Chains A and B, each alone.
Chain A
């Protein structure tokens, strides 16, 4: 039987962790773009747009991410597309991330006083200009800490993609366990790698929140 050193295990896990990082970045950036669209729909003047965004968010926040992954994986196949795991994983994670970011950002936009909207409207600004020049610059300040905090959820969410067969850190953990029969060491190391990825983000989110605690300053 081949002997595996801890270094062998760690090296292979770290190689796979690259895919966790890539998938997290793709999901976060893609989810951010879709989330911004959702935000605009959610605070739109049109009732139908608001309702759409509301139900979208309700649907994605009210169902397990794992189910969304399964549906993306098997559902896209119905259209005759051969779906590789990375595509289903990326798509589901982007849509899921968007729902949460859209809702977080809506809270931040709504925290901006009504007077700001009225003032900018009185300057003859259109809806988009109001958002671009007045509301978003202020809302972004409040939005930074929870957004950074949510990125931790995205990284942890990528672990589920291992279940539909995308090879990232968690999947590598299973594969390496099957080769080495050392689940304690392997999953312990996997957990530590996730921790090393997530903890700096959690911590900076907390620090940012303390620094930019504008939302609660008036209470």
Chain B
């Protein structure tokens, strides 16, 4: 192998990389918070919600979980304009991530809700709480605590999956890597560097989510 590695371009192109990292972080921040919120709503519907809404949510969850993220992204970005919904590339990327994480997290959260002992619901009812109040105050937090590790992994998976949004020209980290390789022809180095950054981001995100877990569920920290 007579290949000379050259990372000299890093000095010239680091603003692109920093910008790419910022956009990747923005995408997962918005996607993570909104996606988990959507997941909570969908999990509530599927576990306890009105009967007529259940099949709708079930269809949404199954459809998203059984199609590739890339196709969901293309459908939103290229397909929806023919219904009159024209989105910018970042909006489309955000929407796709929310829709995607919403479906996956709803399944995880639903598992947590269904593992709640019946007595909890009855205890809430005996305190004259409405079903919604029981869900909000009694069921939800312990359910989330139960499934927090699985939910964290899913958020990391979605963050890594966000590399695909470069394909609709959203200028994330992968987009920066593609840009650099097209300018410098240092494809291997550009992708190695961005892969390392992704690995670092994944490790940091996992730590962050663990800390968020300790903050929301202080009981666990005391144990």
Contacts and interface: CB of A to CB of B under 8 A. Distances in A.
Interface of A: 59, 62-68, 70-71, 74-75, 77-80, 152, 156-157, 159-160, 162-163, 170, 173-174, 177, 182-184, 186-188, 190-191, 194-195, 198-199, 202
A159 B79 contact: no
Contact of A71 (B79, B160, B161, B192): B192
Most chain B beta-carbon contacts within 10 A, residue among A64, A68, A190, A191: A64
Interface in B45-92: 62-63, 65-72, 74-75, 78-83
B214 interface: no
30 contacts: A62-B202, A62-B203, A63-B160, A63-B202, A64-B162, A64-B174, A65-B163, A66-B164, A67-B198, A70-B191, A71-B188, A71-B192, A74-B187, A74-B188, A75-B191, A157-B68, A159-B70, A159-B71, A173-B71, A173-B74, A183-B75, A184-B78, A184-B79, A184-B83, A190-B74, A191-B72, A191-B75, A194-B66, A194-B71, A198-B66
Nearest to A70: B191
A78 B1 contact: yes
A64 B1 contact: no
Given A67-B195, A79-B1, A183-B82, A194 B67 contact: yes
Residues of B in contact with A, size category: 35 or more
A117 B78 CA distance: 55
A163 B191 CA distance: 14
Q: Is the interface of B mostly helix, strand, loop or mixed?
A: helix
Given A65-B160, A159-B71, A183-B78, A152 B188 contact: no
B47 to A, nearest CB: 16
B167 interface: yes
B208 interface: no
Given A195-B63, A199-B66, 20 more contacts: A62-B160, A63-B202, A64-B161, A64-B174, A67-B191, A71-B188, A74-B188, A78-B1, A159-B69, A162-B70, A183-B75, A187-B78, A187-B79, A191-B67, A191-B71, A191-B75, A199-B62, A202-B62, A202-B65, A202-B66
B105 interface: no
Q: Is the interface of A mostly helix, strand, loop or mixed?
A: helix
A90 B33 CA distance: 35
Nearest to A76: B188
B66 A195 contact: yes
A198 B67 contact: yes
Contact of B68 (A64, A68, A71, A170): A170
Given A66-B174, A74-B187, A195 B203 contact: no
Interface string B89-103: 000000000000000
Interface in B167-206: 167, 174, 177, 181, 187-188, 191-192, 194-195, 198-199, 202-203
Interface of B: 1, 3, 62-63, 65-72, 74-75, 78-83, 156, 160-164, 167, 174, 177, 181, 187-188, 191-192, 194-195, 198-199, 202-203
A137 B191 CA distance: 41
Contacts of A75: 188, 191
- Minimum-distance CB pairs A-B, first 8: A159-B68, A64-B163, A183-B78, A198-B66, A74-B187, A184-B79, A156-B68, A187-B75
A62 B187 contact: no
B71 A187 contact: yes
Contacts of B177: 67, 70
Contacts of B78: 177, 183-184, 187
B68 A70 contact: no
A62 B67 contact: no
Contacts of B70: 159-160, 162-163, 170
